[in-house]
Amino acid sequence: MNFEEREALINSLKRDVIEMPAQGTVKVNFGTEGIYKIIPHRPPFVLISSITAVNVEAAIIEVTSIVDPNDPVFAGHFPGMPVYPGVFQVESMGQAGLCLSYFTKNNTTQIKETSEPVKGLFTRVHNAGFNKGVKPGDVLTIRVKSIEDDDFMGLMSAQVLINNEIYSHSILEVYYP
């Protein structure tokens, strides 16, 4: 992706919601037990709550994240005006991206008992932007779309949405060791 293409994608991510195409999208309902089978994260750092839709052909996923109002981060970020840290939002997008990698690399919309976590490390955030503040108790919808992917690396665009409004967005690069 060249500079002009990346800038166009960033501008689009700020304004245009990543849509789940009607054709090929499978509604799913995988909770934390399923998530634990396909990504390596564990409490207290699993930031996504469920996987709700997958489109393997279009390489797009939708997950939810419930922002715990009792999360200790709110004591200091910021007292009297709590805001969910942007770095946690970007991490949530990255965790959703690893889930997407599982489904696309295995060409499936299922999680089997024998599934193993994706081996992927996010190495670069090409862009992160924040349009609105995420508050305690918010329910986030996170959508991630693969831009490029092979056995070595992947590039993904991602958004955090609340009520289909863009709250944050990023372009993430993942390395598959």
- Exposure string of 29-64, with b = 16+ CB inside 10 Å and e = fewer, is ebeeebbbbbbebeeeebbbbbbbbbbbebbbbbbb
Say whether 41 is catalytic.
no
Selecting among 41, 77, 126, 169, the annotated active-site residue is 77
Instruction: Retrieve residue 94's tokens.
Output: 């990255």
Q: Which amino acid is at 121?
A: L
For 79-141, the DSSP string reads TTS----HHHHHHHHHHHHHHHHHHHHHT-S---TT------EEEEEEEEEESS---TT-EEE
SS3 38: helix
User: How many helices, marked H, and strands, marked E, lie in the chain?
Assistant: 3, 7
Question: Do residues 60 and 104 touch, judged by C-beta distance below 8 A?
Answer: no
Distance CA 126, CA 69 (A): 29
In the block, tokens 């699993």 appear at 46
Q: Which residues are catalytic?
A: 77
